């Protein structure tokens, strides 16, 4: 693991960071952030209806566990064997492709009074740093309307329709609309020093969290530094040909203009061979259109935060991304002496 910079606080003295999203991008970032602070809260979307999570959701009537399990694993401090066990996926039979971690969380859900209690109990088993919270425990489906007028219900159906029709997503919503958030979610936002959106799929991991009742108002009312992390590559089925500005505009249209005023993009070079392979799948590096973001009141900061993992996938480097976030926090905010310790002020 890369050595932390000298300015890094001790984890138990680090800032209170709330991250909002879902998918592998969120859990990947958490692995880096926990080096700097133990005061972490991951707020995770629960609209997934595909894969092993979708099967458990249909069969057991529980919220999809996959994204939450990924975040728990990322923040776990359990013995390596336990971590390996949680990540294990069955290879054959009716359980083929299902992870043990999903089944373990499903079992805890069966013996717990609520899904959020099951998540807390799994956190205890894994000795998790910080906390992982489902944004809502309501049974929600993600709906999408496309520019061609077509409407679909279901996260998987959204991606399939986008790939098949080639029409841009115009708007997404939740069904039922405006579900109630978990109370602890709003509490964490109110106490945060920094709120981070993403990284993750724009329409299926980030925006759904902002459609939950009270989320936008709570974020808007927070004095925390608010940063949107733009993906490194466009995503087939969601954001083909999108720029950083397109991502920002989509978030503002679904939530509220000015919800954040800082966006972190990537300027690490992508190897030509890797970029060509991604191009065959309809994906390309995201263009950092600084001026367009500025027109929306957002400062686009670009830093070298990407890497190619051992499987050849372009990802955010968890250590580099966490370091840049902590540097931005240190540069942009100072505590105001003699005032409420939660209050922060943006430096000129």
| Tens digit of each residue's pLDDT (9 = 90 or more) over 72-95 | 999 999 888 888 899 899 998 888
Torsion-angle region of 190 (φ positive above 0: left; ψ -120 to 50: alpha; else: beta): alpha
Judged against a pLDDT cut of 60, whether residue 246 lies above it is answered with: yes
Helical H segments across the chain, by residue range = 23-33, 51-60, 66-75, 80-87, 100-111, 115-125, 155-165, 183-191, 207-210, 215-221, 244-254, 272-280, 290-295, 318-332
More reliable by pLDDT, 174 or 82: 174
More reliable by pLDDT, 221 or 80: 221
| Tens digit of each residue's pLDDT (9 = 90 or more) over 293-341 | 999 999 999 999 999 998 899 999 999 999 999 999 998 865 433 334 4
Other CB atoms within 10 Å distance of the CB of residue 139? 14
Report field, pTM of the whole predicted structure over 0.85: yes
Judged against a pLDDT cut of 60, whether residue 142 lies above it is answered with: yes
| Tens digit of each residue's pLDDT (9 = 90 or more) over 99-115 | 999 999 999 999 999 99
Q: What is the DSSP letter of 206?
A: I
More reliable by pLDDT, 78 or 27: 27
Q: Name the helix (H) or strand (E) containing 314.
A: strand 314-316
Judged against a pLDDT cut of 60, whether residue 3 lies above it is answered with: no
Q: What is the pLDDT of residue 343?
A: 38
Judged against a pLDDT cut of 80, whether residue 209 lies above it is answered with: yes
Span 20-36, mean pLDDT? 94
Q: What is the pLDDT of residue 335?
A: 45
Peptide bond before residue 111 is cis, with ω within 30 degrees of 0: no
Q: What is the pLDDT of residue 6?
A: 43
Q: Among the CATH numbers 1.10.3470.10, 3.30.460.80, 3.40.50.10680, 3.40.50.450, which is that of 11-45+135-140+176-346?
A: 3.40.50.10680
Kindly list the domain boundaries of the chain, sorted by start residue: 11-45+135-140+176-346, 48-126
Q: What is the pLDDT of residue 101?
A: 93
Span 258-279, mean pLDDT? 96
Span 206-214, mean pLDDT? 98
pLDDT averaged over every residue in the chain: 90
Q: What is the pLDDT of residue 9?
A: 61
More reliable by pLDDT, 48 or 115: 115
Span 254-281, mean pLDDT? 96
Span 263-276, mean pLDDT? 96
């Amino acid at each position: 693991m890369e050595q932390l910079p000298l300015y890094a606080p001790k984890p138990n003295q680090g800032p209170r960071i709330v991250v909002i999203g879902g998918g592998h991008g969120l859990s990947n970032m958490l692995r880096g952030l926990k080096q700097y602070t133990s005061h972490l809260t991951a707020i995770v979307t629960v609209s997934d209806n595909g894969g092993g999570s979708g099967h458990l959701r249909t069969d057991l009537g529980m919220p999809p566990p996959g994204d939450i399990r990924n975040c728990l694993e990322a923040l776990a401090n359990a013995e390596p064997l336990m971590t390996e066990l949680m990540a294990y996926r069955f290879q054959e039979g009716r359980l083929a492709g299902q992870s043990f971690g999903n089944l373990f969380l499903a079992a805890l859900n069966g013996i717990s009074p609520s899904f959020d209690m099951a998540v807390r109990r799994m956190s205890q088993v894994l000795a998790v740093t910080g906390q992982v919270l489902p944004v809502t425990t309501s049974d929600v489906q993600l709906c999408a309307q496309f520019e061609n007028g077509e409407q679909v219900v279901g996260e998987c159906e959204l991606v399939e329709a986008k790939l098949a029709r080639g029409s841009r997503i115009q708007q997404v919503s939740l069904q039922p609309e405006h579900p109630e958030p978990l109370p602890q979610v709003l509490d964490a936002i109110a106490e945060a020093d920094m709120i981070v959106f993403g990284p993750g799929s724009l329409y299926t991991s980030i925006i759904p969290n902002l459609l939950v009742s009270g989320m936008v108002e709570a974020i808007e009312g927070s004095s925390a530094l608010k940063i949107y992390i733009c993906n490194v590559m466009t995503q087939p089925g969601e954001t083909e040909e999108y720029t950083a500005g397109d991502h920002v505009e989509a978030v503002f249209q679904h939530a509220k203009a000015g919800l954040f005023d800082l966006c972190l993009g990537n300027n690490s070079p992508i190897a030509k061979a890797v970029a060509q392979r991604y191009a065959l799948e309809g994906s390309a590096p995201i263009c950092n259109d600084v001026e367009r973001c500025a027109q929306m009141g957002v400062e686009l900061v670009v830093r070298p935060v990407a890497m190619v993992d051992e499987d050849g996938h372009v990802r955010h480097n968890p250590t580099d991304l966490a370091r840049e976030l902590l540097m931005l926090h240190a540069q942009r905010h100072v505590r105001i002496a003699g005032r409420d310790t939660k209050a922060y002020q943006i430096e000129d």
